[in-house]
Amino acid sequence: MSENLDNKPDNRAEYQQDTVMEHTYDGIQEFDNRLPNWWLWLMWGSMVFALIYWIVFHTLELRVLPREQFEGVMAEAEEIQLAKMLEAGIDNEFFVAMSQNAEKVAEGREIFVKHCVACHLDQGQGSVGPNLTDANWVHGCEPMEMWKVVTDGVAAKGMPAWQNQLGPNRVMAAVSYIMTIQDTNVDGKAPEGEPCQN
Ligand code: HEC
């Protein structure tokens, strides 16, 4: 035994060698050491946390998940905004002005490509839904009439209501875009409804 130069307690007797498991695969062996306590605490702690979280948020639903909370607040804000817009009186002139705003129309085009082309096709020439580029309209050719159809949909005919999914701003942008393709007469679905009187 060498001399203990630092005056530290001699604990060499307590030193344990790493325990090696018996199996060997391709010459590789595995330690079987006890995991450190901090690691075990972390593991058990996260398991307990996950269990409590699951019960509180998913089983008993005592708390609203952050995403649902966010969606709830957003929906409320959209409702308030819509109410304000109706109060302020959106009308045909409002939409005419909007359809002359290139930025809004571009935004409307993006929304149209994403949500509407499945039924109205890329240029609005119609497939499931009517041709939006001809002179005929099922629900009227005035901007406010289009706005109402897009907002509330026509459930019986398969036109979805977009108010909740898109919110009032994007619905308006989509309408402003449709106004720019109105009367472009793209070859497509045969005219439906009545010719526009304007
Ligand atoms: C799932 C298919 C579908 C999708 C998606 C869809 N529509 Fe429609 N849309 C229809 C159908 C079907 C009608 C015809 C309703 C009727 O005959 O009463 C229609 C009618 C309309 C009308 C009225 C046309 C008229 O002649 O009066 C407008 C405007 C319109 N859609 C705009 C949109 C916009 C904007 C979007 C995207 C935000 C959209 N639609 C997405 C199926 C769809």
53 and 111 share one domain: no
Contact 136, 191 (CB under 8 A): yes
* 44 shares its domain with 110: no
Which residues is 25 bridged to in the sheet?
A: 28
Half-sphere exposure of 5 (CA within 13 A, CB side): 1
Report the separation in Å between the CA atom of 166 and the middle of ligand 1, taken as the mean of its atom positions.
14
Global pTM reads 0.67
Q: From the CA of 186, how far away is ligand 1's center (Å)?
A: 16
41 and 81 in a common domain: no
> Do 90 and 172 reside in the same domain of the chain?
yes
Atom number of ligand 1 nearest to Cα 146: 29
If asked whether residues 53 and 76 sit together in one domain, one would say: no
Number of structural domains, the chain? 2
| The pLDDT of residue 76 is above 90 | no
One domain for residues 40 and 133 = no
Please tell me whether residues 164 and 186 are part of one structural domain.
Answer: yes
Residue 33: HSE in the Cβ half-sphere, 13 Å Cα cutoff: 9
Residue-range definition of the domain harbouring residue 82: 66-195
pLDDT at 1 over 60: no
How does pLDDT run across 136-153, given as a tens digit for each residue? 999 999 999 999 999 999
At position 25, the amino acid (one-letter code) is Y
